[in-house]
Amino acid sequence: MEWDQELDASGLLCPLPVLKARKRLKAMAPGAVLRLVATDPAAVIDVPHFCAEQGHELLAVEEGAAARVFYLRKGGQSPKPE
């Protein structure tokens, strides 16, 4: 899957992965995709809840041996095609 920015939150515990994702998404354009890497076991609950509450779309979750990778599409109006 393609993404626009990546945030490595490996080693961070709740609520830091979500707080850092929120900050990064604020700086991104609507419709852009953030790839979030997290090792916190609570991220599997926190990230989908964050997306639902903030209006972002959780596109996919990849399960790895050491980490989970979340793909989040920033909510809001997508840029108009040129």
Tens of pLDDT along 28-55? 999 999 999 999 999 999 999 999 999 9
Q: What pLDDT is recorded for position 80?
A: 47
Give the three-state DSSP class for 39.
coil
Retrieve residue 61's tokens. 């979750």
- What pLDDT sits at residue 78? 54
Residues 12-16 have a mean pLDDT of 95
Backbone region of residue 66 per phi and psi (left: phi > 0; alpha: psi in -120 to 50; beta: other values): alpha
The catalytic residue among 14, 19, 59, 61 is 14
51 classed as catalytic:
no
pTM comes to 0.90
Sign of the C-alpha dihedral computed for residues 43, 52, 26 and 75 taken in this order: positive
Instruction: Determine the average pLDDT of the residues in 72-81.
Output: 74
